[in-house]
Amino acid sequence: MAQEHILNLSRVFGAEQTENLRRSQQLEDRVVELYATTRPSLLGYAYHVVGSTGDAEDLVQSAFLKLFDQLKRNARIENLRSWLYRVVHNLAIDHVRRKGSRESTQAEWLALRSLTDTVHSAEHDLIQKQRIAGSLKALNERERHCLMLRAEGLSYVEIGDVLGLSQKSVSVYLSRGLKKFGGAR
């Protein structure tokens, strides 16, 4: 009888381990799929905050490792997209603080996003970039980040989640930022 009990326990532990491996593989597949779909936009956002493709790639990968770790611990994440942007944002801000400001990179990013598909002269493009750079100097950090995240397609709620702000605050920062940005042109 004691041997039967030992065998049953080993079957139970074996089944548990098999189930844990299956869950882990499903989780890994889910994170890989999410990585494939959200990586480009996260990478673009991170690049324009830190100004380096290599650093941006490292930050995005770190964010996904954190996500995998959190999901493995059964953490409850209601909006994976805004959670990932928040982690990338925080990692990027920490990186910038360690290495210095990247305002010119942010200006270039907004300039590229605002240029239409119509062909302009190099002079026109340069003037446009200079206007955008001047406009960005009028913005404070929160206004700038709100505008960048909105340009990436995040909703007010998601921007609030990323930056730790209420939806109302996001609305105010976006409104102020747009006024300053539009007025400085």
> One-letter amino acid identity for 35?
Y
> CA 109 to CA 136: how far, in whole Å?
11
Tokens linked to 3:
């041997």
pLDDT in tens, 14-36: 555 555 556 677 878 888 899 99
**Residue at 91: amino acid letter:** L
156 token code pair: 């007010």
Q: pLDDT tens, 135-168?
A: 667 788 888 888 888 888 899 999 999 999 999 9
Amino acid at 56: A
Looking at residue 48, its pLDDT comes to: 82
Q: Give first-to-last CA distance, the chain, whole Å.
A: 85
Give the tokens for residue 73: 């611990």
pLDDT tens across 109-132, in order?
555 555 444 555 667 666 666 666
Asked if residues 88 and 46 have their Cβ atoms less than 8 Å apart, the reply is: yes
Q: Is the pTM of this model over 0.95?
A: no
Domains in the chain, CATH or no CATH each: 1-100 (1.10.1740.10), 102-185 (1.10.10.10)
Q: How far is 177 from 185, CA to CA, in rounded Å?
A: 13
Taking residue 113's Cβ as centre, other Cβ atoms within 10 Å add up to 14
The pLDDT of residue 104 is: 46
Residue environment code for 61-91, b if the CB has 16+ CB neighbours within 10 A, otherwise e: eebbeebbeebeeeeeeeeebbbbbbbbbeb
CA distances from 59 to 45, 52, 113 (A): 11, 11, 22
For 55-98, the pLDDT digits (tens) are 999 999 999 999 988 988 888 888 889 999 999 999 998 998 88
pLDDT > 90: percent of the chain = 29
Residue 91 has what pLDDT?
Answer: 94
Q: How many CA atoms lie within 13 A of 49 on its CB side?
A: 33
Q: What does the pLDDT read at residue 185?
A: 47
